[in-house]
Structure 1
Amino acid sequence: MTETPLLEVSNVTKRFGGLTANADVSLTVARGEILGLIGPNGAGKSTLFNAIAGAFPIDAGSIRFDGHDITSLPCPARCALGIARTFQVPRSFDSMSVVENVLVGALTRRPKTRAARHAAHEVLDFVGLGSRAEASAGELTPPEKRRLEMARALATEPKLMLLDEVMTGLTPSEAREGVELIRRVRDQGITVIMVEHVMEIVMPLIDRAVVLELGRVLAEGTPKEIVADPRVIAAYLGDRHRAA
């Protein structure tokens, strides 16, 4: 018997005025999978992320998560079910300490402050920010702020993590550390969907990719299938990826 997907996006359409950002998009995500959502700028990736996270209502279609129809649920309710996300531009409470930022996420599962703070410290150790726990979030470097966002999301104890360009702006060594962190997140039993433009990094990391173009699904498959697909090469990857 085939296991039910953790996430099912069915025929989702989202319009902004006369612009159709997502058009009849369907995809599934298996439990424990790392799925890459790729495509050129303006393909509709961030819109689809926001639709899954519940940032705005969709115009057509449905979204099911872990057996629940979440199409009409607001963000907090989706978080309670186990969906967490990061943002393309990291968001932090810069006047608060690093651990207090993560405490915000931990309190969603642990209403008692002492237990939530303990969980926050554990998550900071996991992402490599344990030594920065009492620093002001405003003092963190951009790569550290990306890890802080991941820590805050992980503190909500998600079943699904939506990672929006977490490798952007990282040095090669920082990117390698980021890849290892995402693998360790998956090893914790957390499913991952990631939007990423650094194909050399994302392709060896993901199990499967969905390619969007002009708001529609252009192709989906394993990384090997995607980089060899003539439609994807023409739309996005370019001949250097076909040669690779």
Structure 2
Amino acid sequence: MAETILNVEDVTLAFGGLVANRDVTLDVARGEILGLIGPNGAGKSTLFNLISGVYRPNRGRIRFEGADITALPPAERCRRGIARTFQVPRSFDSMNVLENVTVGAFARHAKAAQARAAALETLERVDLAHRADAVAGELTPPEKRRLEVARALATGPRLLLLDEVLTGLTPSEAKAGVALIRRVAAAGVTVIMVEHVMEVVMPLVDRAVVLNLGSVLAQGLPAEVVRDEAVIGAYLGERHRAA
């Protein structure tokens, strides 16, 4: 069996009377691509925020590479090897592309020259090197999503959280995005991705976890999950059943 890189155990987070995640338990194997799916408001982004350290759970534990990181701040989790993107890209729009990615590279390189070199190498990996001198605020939406991925990769993660990086892309752009994610995983980075484009994500992921109303509704191989009656009823809908 593959080694577990991330363990989320009975994690619950409530905002006042609203429970965003309830008793969420899941294990992520090192090297896998895990799809986190579910309807809007299911708690997917909240779970990303818990894993990355933006929020702390009311109860439960989060372990990364065997260590309890439940109380660690985001910067320390990043230093330990967890990076993420955001649903709405958050670039430094007045800085150029290379400078944006260099910011991420400073997580593992103390010297500016080393961080810049690592950033250039990362831009090559994500096919964005030709835009290194472009001002980030002038990028197209697909380029901004790729910039988010580049900045996260520049931190040297072992676990990468991708929040809807394929949403809103044309078919050709989505195909390029899928190829990039496969290259990232092939390089040894474990990936958890939130995505709504089922036709794209299901052939890509090794395993899928479905959240609904803050709880895990189902998990397993993609082919099993999309045939689960509870998943069809809560998320995929009757049109999927007919298809």
TM-score class, shorter? over 0.9
- Residue 242 of structure 1 deviates from its aligned partner by 3.5
Point out where structure 1 has 5 or more consecutive residues left out of the alignment: none
- What residue is the counterpart of 1:148 in the other structure? 147
- Give 2:135's aligned residue: 136
Deviation of residue 3 (structure 1)? 4.4
Match of 2:34 in 1: 35
1:22 Cα deviation from its structure 2 partner:
0.4
After superposition, the C-alpha distances for 1:147-186 in whole angstroms (9 at most, x for unaligned) are: 0000000000000000000011100110010000000000
CA distance, structure 2, for counterparts of residue 197 and residue 35 of structure 1:
13
Task: Give the aligned partner of residue 47 of structure 2.
Answer: 48
SS in structure 2 of the partner of residue 29 of structure 1: strand
The answer as to 2:73 corresponding to 1:87 is: no
Kept in 2, the 8 Å contact 1:227–1:242? The answer is: no
Alpha-carbon distance in structure 1 between the residues aligned to 2:154 and 2:67: 22
User: In structure 2, what is the equivalent of residue 177 of structure 1?
Assistant: 176
CA distance in 2, matches of 1:203, 1:241: 14
* Aligned counterparts of 1:52 and 1:60: Cα–Cα separation in 2: 13
Superposed counterparts of 1:159-238, under 5 Å:
159-238=158-237
Post-superposition shift, 1:243? Answer: 4.5
The runs of at least 4 consecutive aligned structure 1 residues that moved more than 4 Å come to none
Separation in structure 1 between the aligned mates of residue 219 and residue 36 of structure 2, nearest angstrom: 9
Aligned to 2:25: 26
Q: For residue 114 of structure 1, what is the aligned residue in structure 2?
A: 113
Counterpart-to-counterpart distance in 1, 2:149 and 2:3: 27
Q: Deviations over 1:179-216 (max 9, x none)?
A: 00000000110000000000000000000001011011
Q: CA RMSD in A?
A: 0.9
Instruction: Quote the Cα distance in structure 2 between the aligned partners of 1:241 and 1:114.
Output: 52
TM-score by length of 2: 0.98
Does the CA-based 8 Å contact 1:165-1:196 persist in structure 2? Answer: yes
Over the matched positions of the two proteins, sequence identity in percent amounts to 69
Structure 2 letter corresponding to 1:123 = T
Is 2:72 the partner of 1:60?
no
**Deviation per residue, 1:92-138 (Å, 9 max, x gap):** 00010100000001111111111110110110011111000011111
Q: Secondary structure at the match of 2:4?
A: coil
Deviation at 1:80, TM superposition (A): 0.6
CA–CA separation in structure 2 for the residues paired with 1:227 and 1:174: 25
Which position in structure 2 is the counterpart of 1:16?
A: 15
Partner amino acid for 2:219? E
* Residues 3 and 203 (structure 1), Cα distance of their counterparts in 2 relative to 1, 3 Å cut: closer
Q: Which residue of 1 aligns with 2:5?
A: 6
Post-superposition shift, 1:4? 3.5
Aligned mates of 2:149, 2:181 — CA distance in 1: 10
Tell me the TM-score normalized by structure 1: 0.98
Deviations 1:15-43 (A, max 9, x none): 00110000000000000000000000111
For 1:228 and 1:204, locate their aligned partners in 2 and report how far apart those are by CA, in whole Å. 14
Structure 2: 5+ residue runs without aligned partners? none
One-letter amino acid matched to 1:34: I
